[in-house]
Structures are given as structure tokens and as C-alpha cells.
Amino acid sequence: MKFLADENVEGLVIQTLRAAGHDVAEVATDAFGTADSGVLARSSKEGRVLITNDKDFAELAFLQRSAANGIVMIRLPYSNSREKATQVAAVVADLGDRLIGAMTVVEAEATRRRPFPPPFLTRT
């Protein structure tokens, strides 16, 4: 599976996903400082699921209805990097392609998945 790791994602999470055979591009190494809208647009254009710790992407995807291939939001404030990496890798292995087209929130006690709404229809 293809992922785009936001600049706030720990290296161990990225390394763990790569070790599991996933293609993970990193904003921190090739596009540091890119605005959230640009990061989300890139993930959509490249067909990558975005991995982030940033809640602002939920607003972009749901309220502003920005295009998104999929978003995995890590909400594990009391976990160390190894615990985060293990839990994210387990969610990726469990949900697989179901990460596409949805916001998936990884928390200590549960994982929540919410499909993206259909885009607004425009009339001409």
C-alpha cells in the first residue's frame, strides 16, 4: 500500500510500515513546510493514504470536502514511538484497502473509521 507520512509522523512508524512492505513517502524529507492543503492534494494525486498526527486534515476532508485518498490519524498522546508504530502497523494490516476513502483514527482503546462524504455536486 502507498502512504504519505506527514512531517509530524515519527520515523519509527515510517520504518515499521516500510519493513512491512509498504511504499511510504515522507513530507519531512522532500516537501517540509508544505501547507496542509498541499499535503492532502499530494496524497490524493499520488494515490497515497496520508498518515498524520494533525487534526486539521479532518476539517479539510470533511468540512471543506477536499479530495483525499484516505487519512490515518494517529491519536496516541501517551504512547512512545514503538507503541505507536506497532499499533499503526496492526491497523494497516487489519484494514488494508479499507483505509482508502476514509478517515481512520487510531486511538489507544479503539480504532474509528469514517468514510468520506461524497463530493458536492455542482450544477451548470
DSSP-derived secondary structure for 50-116 = EEES-THHHIIIIIS----S-EEEEE-TT--HHHHHHHHHHHHHHHGGGGTTEEEEEESS-EEEEEP
Q: Are 86 and 20 in contact (CB under 8 A)?
A: no
- The least confident of 5-9, 33-37, 104-108 is 33-37
Q: What is the mean pLDDT of residues 13-30?
A: 96
pLDDT at position 120: 44
Is the model more confident about 32 or about 89? Answer: 89
Given the candidates 1.10.3210, 3.30.450, 1.10.3470, 3.40.50, the CATH classification of the domain at 2-115 is: 3.40.50
d(CA 22, CA 124): 41
Model-level pTM greater than 0.75? yes
- The least confident of 3-7, 58-62, 98-102 is 58-62
Residue 60 pLDDT class (50, 70, 90 cuts): confident
The Cα-based distances of 56 to 40, 53, 105 in angstroms read 11, 9, 13
